[in-house]
Amino acid sequence: MIDVLYGAAWALARPFAALAPGTGKLGRALRGRFGAAAVLSAWSRSHRTSAPLVWFHAASVGEGRQAEAVLARVRALRPDWQIACTHASASAERLARSLPADVAGYLPADTPRDVALALDALRPAALVFAATDLWPVLIAAAARRGVGLGLVSGTLAPTSSRRGALAKRLLRPAYQALDRVGAIDQPDADGLAALGVARERLAITGDTRHDSAAARAAALDRAAPHLRALAAPGPPIVVAGSTWDADEAVMHDALPRLWPATPIRLVVAPHEPTEPRLREIEAFAGPANLDPRVVRLSALEAAARGGPPAPWDVCVVDRVGVLADLYALAHVAFVGGGFHRKGLHSVIEPAALGIPVLFGPEWRSSRDARLLLDAGAARAVENGIELARAIGGWLASDSAHASAGRAARAVVEKGLGAAERSAQLVIELVETSGLRA
């Protein structure tokens, strides 16, 4: 019955995709998925060779970061292989295009027809998922063809919906079909085994997101235009990254408690920088009686091209793709998503740069948040009063700030090596697979 309902949901989604708003994330994702098989088929006709192909799938940006380091390592170790990379979320479009894959785009809809067309086109030797995003129809079809099935940075948060009864019934055959699984840690391995992964196919390989974050931090270009634009002298910078309106409301409450006794400059990078959201942030970016200089990042960049960086108090980031770099300018990072139940965003990006991290109370689904809290590199706050107190405390004590920054970087460094272990898992999966392209 669950399989029938699942198929019916996809059947209903197909006509909805054509009617969904053109620029909305849901509409873009649905159209991308229902058009993905044709895109992969077109690529295959011109570019698919006889070399083994590894198909990586990562649902959104967070999972994409986990796949990134593994994909790059496989590319370096097996340069003659081909690589495909797919995603399910519109948020991951830009990241997917930046990865060293031969073809990147949306994951085909999880229907027998779309899946068969995609498998015919790619002829993968292995299909490797990142973190959590398994698709039952795709996995069943790939298994029947002898495709090696893997999972890297496998995780199962205590709050995951995949622990629910309906999800277990739908996904258990998919977990049972996996040939090789690299779990982040032992609790994740135990959780995945409970969902159906065979114990003998499980290994603890770590979280590849640490490798990705460390690599980006090491490759940071501090002369990049978006960093140079913010380089005017001034008070310490707090970067509020991947924020939602609930996070911004708390930041708004904290600002008058900091200014002017503890002057800061604030960079706000909303998770969805749509024009309405940008205007909302600009409207309450600072206490009116302090008359802060509020400016968008694009305007600062334009001004810096013609001369020295302009002074500013609040910078609203009006595009995606630069947040990981902007954390390099921060004295303190405030990571969004912790004031609602949709999930805390990546706290490992600022940690890799040695930046102390703050976030809201909804952090328990984030392993990285727990690691940073345990190390004294982060603090969870409940409201604007606590946020102002935490920022002010770190800025008032150079030793406390430096200690928290060192602890943050140490958490990332301790996690390094997961990408290498995961890449070896993928290579073994391909080389022992029953299918050769």
Give the lowest-confidence range in 46-60, 150-164, 404-418: 150-164
Q: Determine the pLDDT at residue 436.
A: 42
pLDDT value of position 322: 92
**In Å, how far are 131, 141, 261, 284, 385 from 334, measured between CA atoms?**
24, 43, 20, 17, 14
The token duo for 424 is: 């070896």
**CATH-assigned architecture of domain 223-414:** 3-Layer(aba) Sandwich (3.40)
**364 φ/ψ angles, rounded to the nearest 5 degrees:** -70, -15
Q: Over range 227-232, report the average pLDDT.
A: 92
Band the pLDDT of 373: cuts 50, 70, 90.
Answer: very high
Domains 2-206+417-431 and 223-414 are alike in CATH topology: yes
* For residues 227-251, average pLDDT: 94
Measured CA to CA, the distance from residue 116 to residue 399 in angstroms comes to 59
Q: CA torsion sign, 167 to 170 to 173 to 175?
A: negative
Q: Domain spans of the chain?
A: 2-206+417-431, 223-414
pLDDT (tens digit, 9 = 90+) per residue, 280-311? 999 876 555 567 899 999 999 998 887 888 89
Tell me, what's the pLDDT at 142? 97
Beta strands of 22-134 (E only): which ranges?
53-57, 82-87, 103-106, 126-130
Concatenating the DSSP letter of every residue in 168-207 gives: HHHHHHHHHH-SEEEESSHHHHHHHHHHT--GGGEEE---
- For the segment 187-199, the average pLDDT, to the nearest whole number, is 94
Lowest mean pLDDT among 115-119, 231-235, 357-361: 231-235
d(CA 408, CA 214): 12
CA atoms within 13 A on the CB side of 165: 0
The mean pLDDT of 25-31, rounded to a whole number, is: 83
> What is the DSSP secondary structure assignment for residue 417, as one 8-state letter?
T
Q: Classify domain 2-206+417-431 at the CATH topology level.
A: Rossmann fold (3.40.50)
Distance of CA 325 to the CA centre of its chain: 15
Query: Average pLDDT, stretch 327-356?
Result: 95
In the structure, what pLDDT confidence band is assigned to residue 21 with cuts at 50, 70 and 90? low
Quick check: pTM over 0.85?
yes
